[in-house]
Amino acid sequence: MKSVILKTQQIAFLLLGFVLISAQQKMKIPADAPFYMEINGKQLNKKVNWEKLNPFIQEITKKDKKSKEKFSWNDYSKTGIKYDATQYHYATFNDSIQTYTTHFILDNKEKFLEFINSTKKKGLEISKKSKYSYVDIGDNTFVAWNDNRAVLSVVNYSKPYKDLWKDDVVVDSVAAVVDSAAAVVDTAYADEPELPFNYKDEIKNLKDDIKYLKDNIKDNNTEIARIQKDIKYLEKHHEYPKEEKETTDKEYSENDAEVAPPAVKEGEPENEDFPVDTAYQKEMDSLRIEEFKIVKKFAEDCFETYFNSNLELDVPQGMLNFRDPNSDVFVYTDYGKIVKDGIYGRMMKRYDFNQFFDKVYNSNTSYNLYFDKDKVKLVNTYQHKNTEIQKNISSIYKGKKNKKLMALINDKSIGYYAMNVNGSKCFDMMYSLLDNTGEGEYEKEMQLMMETMKIVLDEEAIAKIAPGNGIFVLNELKSKKVEYTDYDYDADYNEKEVKKTKDVMVPNFTFAFATENEKYWNRIFNVLATNKKLAKTFSKRGDFYIFKEEKSAGYIDELFFTVKDGIVYFTTSTDNILPKPQSAISKEWAKDSGKYPLTGRFDIQKLLIGLEKEFKSTSERKTLDVLRKHIGEVYYKTEAKGDRIETEIDYNIKDSSENSLMYFFDVFDEIYKIMEDPKKELKTL
């Protein structure tokens, strides 16, 4: 009998355990979060060289040398954070609260505590809860942790104000400090009944206020004392102290040597002569305390939710639709929400057709980033939330290739941009965006406008003028001397015109596109050439129409226009319309330009060579040398894939770095040293 009872108890305890475990659910990331990011630490950590990166981070995170407070941490490779684990980031915002939250795993809690203690303010105590501890390392930045998990929360609060684009006052839907307990009321929280007064809670809040004031009072008093010294000096001299540029300056005498208030000697009270304005101090501290309580409460709620869950994140599937588990970094953005609910959204609501803007921006965008050995690859996926609109957008990216345009691609050029889209489908997309966007009294007018557009516009005829095949090729940049007028002033400040010359970079380019109606374009060019007013600048020479200003002081000397074999050309040289010899790589580019709706290439190194004369100072020249040594080229292609538009951008590096991730740190490190050199030279003078 006893054994039966014992077994029954064991089963009951097991069932209770399963119930408790299942009760701890995953923490749900807000479904309306406009930003979500995953960092694949398992892959990314293998590509980081901490021996290079650690000194670089130490250098750029140095605090102001005038400040007594400095970072004591010297090894960012051992912060206690598990770098080879996945990190999760997400952001939310509404009318008054903006948050950015990061979740990461710890592999050494003791090291992590050392790191936190080195970054937080001295004397600031760590708050301990039942399942976690936390501390504020800034007025709006909080960190919480347990034995193997940590959360960083950055919370910004801005009190709602009267909307500039609306007549009514915005109501703070996020937070309001209620009595001394600072209870936060937010749209995300249900209204709670007012609790009876509790003197113990009141004492705790007052102690928190004292702690906050102690951390900030010194900086505030120093700034107030400086301002009050300026006031005293203005009362006495009726002006600010003049800057003494040279010791031989005759405007200053010994009697006027009081340039600035005397510096406070070490050991003396800073505010002895100028006591702090206590009323002002209390008012400013009151505002800071109010805001601090709001953001602190918001961060605490986030920590409570997470550490009372099973410490796993529940990410809405819609955010992960286009995530590649093999990418180093994945980012999701709800572009529609970012635009609609931000300041632009309030601007758009002022207009009667804001539903049109809502439709345009109602989309999601995802990014998969890869740091490969010889290149950085970014795959961007765009998807409109409206299925019908997305279908119309995708149909645009299904055009025909044009071999004559492909022949203009060559590896000698700086870059090109080619497109093969279906121009006639642009009308379908435009109609779907305009459909049902009228509001109130304008609904009938909008419907009528839509019907009128369909009647008036001959879509087929327009599409024949420019079907959707085009290319822009930037061949080179040439230096050109141009005259310009400057003004000098004599001793009596009389203005005098001076003619000067300068070097400008002139682009040599070709813009060409296909047409099925050559007569239309020839008639346009012929009208321009025969018009009496335009005859001085627009003329015809052989098969080319030429645009040339009488006095060319700009970047372009001449522009040539012609129509040949179904192609309309706009170019800076008649030779540019001739097919160029293509190497194996340029043939591959030409092949891609026919395969994909949008393709392009941009050799940044060649561009910098062309812009060499734009870099004047010594530091600019040194920076240019670094960029020319390291900079690579960009290649991209776009295509429609089912219910989305996908763009791949490749940045090919020309460098001996270990990989493309460390390549960026190597370049930044060299540029940073160049920027720091002039500062070091000034200090030695």
Q: Which stretch of 142-146, 433-437, 647-651, 670-674 has the lowest confidence by average pLDDT?
A: 433-437
Q: Which of 92-96, 178-182, 337-341 has the lowest mean pLDDT?
A: 178-182
**Distance of CA 237 to CAs 234, 307, 352, Å?**
5, 61, 57
Residue 352 Cα distances to 232, 355, 357, 359, 442, angstroms: 55, 8, 11, 14, 8
pLDDT in tens, 508-518: 999 999 999 99
Can you tell me the distance from the alpha carbon of 533 to that of 172, in angstroms, rounded to the nearest whole number? 61
pLDDT at 243 over 70: no
Q: Is the pLDDT of residue 206 over 80?
A: no
Q: Is 305 helix (H, G, I), strand (E, B) or coil?
A: helix
Check if the beta carbon of residue 598 is closer than 8 Å to that of residue 418: yes
Query: Which pLDDT value is given to residue 495?
Result: 80
pLDDT digits 0-9 by tens, 207-231: 776 766 666 665 666 667 777 777 7
pLDDT of residue 350 exceeding 70: no
Average pLDDT, the chain: 79
Q: What residues does each domain of the chain span?
A: 29-160+287-329, 372-398+597-684
Place of tokens 């010294």: 229
Q: How many CB atoms are closer than 10 A to CB 351?
A: 12
**Tokens encoding 553:** 């002081």
Lowest mean pLDDT among 130-139, 213-222, 252-261, 293-302: 252-261
pLDDT digits (tens, 9 = 90+) for 599-657: 999 998 888 877 776 777 777 888 888 888 888 899 999 999 988 999 999 999 877 78
Query: 367, 366, 428: which is closest to 397 by C-alpha?
Result: 428
